């Protein structure tokens, strides 16, 4: 965490992805529209050359912005980014002959077609599986700032550095995964897909795909499509999914994963959720998660499995959790 007003720079950032969950602060109301103010909402940065003998003295903004400001800023960025023709701005202060300080904003021109909105690349033949480019502002020939401006859940999965294989597919009924892979550029990962959606034209179609890690785009996997990833060591996954409710206007994110054994070829058929959630749902979920994270948890992430009663042929699911301090212990809780 680096507070406002602290000058900072980094070295050795090659092949590094940085996630910045910044807090935005506003000035006093009478300074927001002051033309002489150094602060601008669209560009809150002052660049000072390394080695400068005289550093500026600044007054950090005191008021934390509301959710409305973040929402308006995201809408503004979404509108202008697809047509932007310049790179990330640099702002320098200089003093003229009359000893008056000015702020100069400079941007390098970029190829406008390199940032066309949301270019989509279909993957395989299962409907709804594709790559989608992130909107970006270039900072160099192979680097950029990627504003993640869509309202969504947000979590990062660290896959460790030892090779491993999943023993099951993951299937969501109400979550459309939107995965960004962070790691060494060009590293290959393997994705296996099986379409388990009721009524799909490619029902039970199985595909093996080889993908390359790239932070510039996200992989979209629709709800109801079973998926398993291999070769994930040294990779971080950033997931910003869409959530959908069922016919009863219900969705429980903690229970929306079915683990289907890799070697079980008797693939299931599921009716997926199709009603998009609204902004109020995400705000409520975030509030609940923040409260939950304040509590100490003794359990690992849930694992959901499907079973069929041999007598009644009724299908049901159980959600299993292990005690976090001893992953090899017996199951402690059944939901």
Confidence class of residue 332 from pLDDT cuts 50, 70 and 90? very low
Q: Is residue 189 situated within a structural domain?
A: yes
Per-residue pLDDT, 44: 82
- Residue with more model confidence, 200 or 306: 200
Residues 274 and 166 placed together within one structural domain of the fold: yes
Q: Which residue, 47, 74, 106, sits at the end of a domain?
A: 106
Residues 270 and 300 placed together within one structural domain of the fold: no
Give CA–CA dist 147/144, Å, rounded: 10
Give CA–CA dist 86/137, Å, rounded: 8
Residues 96 and 185 placed together within one structural domain of the fold: no
The residue ranges of DSSP E strands in 196-245, in sequence order, are 206-212, 217-221, 225-230, 236-239, 242-245
Confidence class of residue 178 from pLDDT cuts 50, 70 and 90? very high
Residues 267 and 301 placed together within one structural domain of the fold: no
How far from chain centre, in Å, is Cα 57? 35
Q: Is residue 45 situated within a structural domain?
A: yes
Per-residue pLDDT, 116: 52
Q: Is residue 289 situated within a structural domain?
A: no
Summarised one tens digit per residue, pLDDT across range 89-119 is 777 777 788 888 777 777 777 665 455 546 8
The residue count for the chain: 335
Give CA–CA dist 127/193, Å, rounded: 11
Confidence class of residue 330 from pLDDT cuts 50, 70 and 90? very low
**Averaged pLDDT for residues 199-206:** 96
Query: What is the β-pairing status of strands 217-221 and 130-133?
Result: antiparallel
Per-residue pLDDT, 118: 61
Q: Encoding tokens for residue 43?
A: 């560009």
Residues 217 and 310 placed together within one structural domain of the fold: no
**Averaged pLDDT for residues 177-187:** 93
Give CA–CA dist 62/305, Å, rounded: 50
Residues 184 and 270 placed together within one structural domain of the fold: yes
> Structurally, how many domains does the chain consist of?
3
Q: Is residue 16 situated within a structural domain?
A: no
Residue 321 pLDDT exceeds 80: no
Find the helix or strand (DSSP H, E) in which 32 lies. none
Residues 276 and 164 placed together within one structural domain of the fold: yes
Residues 197 and 270 placed together within one structural domain of the fold: yes
Domain of 90, in residue numbers: 25-106
Per-residue pLDDT, 100: 82
**Averaged pLDDT for residues 146-154:** 85
Q: Is residue 194 situated within a structural domain?
A: yes
Residues 307 and 275 placed together within one structural domain of the fold: no
Q: Is residue 10 situated within a structural domain?
A: no
Q: Is residue 215 situated within a structural domain?
A: yes
Q: Is residue 17 situated within a structural domain?
A: no
What is the residue-averaged pLDDT of the chain? 84
| Neighbouring-strand partners of residue 195 | 225
Give CA–CA dist 91/107, Å, rounded: 9
Residues 198 and 247 placed together within one structural domain of the fold: yes
SS3 274: coil
Per-residue pLDDT, 328: 42
Find the helix or strand (DSSP H, E) in which 293 lies. helix 279-293
- Residue with more model confidence, 279 or 22: 22
């Amino acid at each position: 965490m680096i507070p406002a007003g602290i000058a900072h720079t980094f070295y050795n950032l090659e092949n590094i992805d940085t996630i910045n969950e910044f807090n935005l602060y506003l000035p006093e109301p009478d300074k927001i529209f002051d033309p002489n103010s150094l602060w601008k909402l669209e560009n809150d940065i002052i660049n000072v050359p390394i080695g400068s003998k005289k550093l500026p003295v600044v007054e950090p903004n005191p008021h934390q912005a509301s959710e409305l400001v973040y929402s308006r800023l995201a809408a503004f960025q979404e509108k202008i980014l697809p047509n932007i023709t310049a790179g990330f701005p640099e702002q320098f202060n200089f003093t003229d002959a009359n000893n008056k300080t000015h702020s100069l904003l400079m941007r390098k021109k970029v190829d406008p077609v390199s940032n066309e909105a949301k270019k989509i690349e279909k993957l395989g033949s299962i409907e709804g599986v594709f790559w989608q480019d992130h909107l970006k502002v270039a900072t160099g020939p192979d680097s950029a700032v990627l504003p993640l401006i869509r309202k969504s859940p947000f979590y990062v999965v660290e896959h460790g550095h030892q090779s491993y294989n999943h023993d099951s597919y993951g299937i969501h009924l109400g979550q459309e995964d939107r995965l960004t892979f962070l790691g060494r550029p060009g590293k290959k990962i393997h994705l296996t897909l099986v379409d388990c959606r009721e009524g799909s034209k490619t029902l039970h179609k199985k595909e093996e795909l080889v993908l390359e890690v790239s932070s510039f785009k996200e992989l979209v996997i629709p709800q109801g499509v079973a998926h398993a990833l291999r070769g994930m060591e040294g990779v971080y996954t950033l997931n910003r999914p869409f959530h959908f409710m069922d016919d009863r206007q219900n969705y429980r994110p903690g229970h929306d994963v079915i683990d289907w054994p890799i070697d079980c070829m008797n693939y299931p058929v599921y009716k997926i959720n199709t009603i998009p959630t609204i902004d109020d749902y995400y705000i409520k979920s975030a509030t609940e998660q923040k409260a939950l994270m304040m509590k100490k948890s003794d359990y690992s992430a849930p694992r959901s499995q499907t079973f069929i009663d041999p007598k009644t042929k009724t299908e049901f699911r159980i959600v299993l959790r292990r005690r976090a301090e001893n992953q090899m212990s017996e199951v402690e809780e059944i939901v």
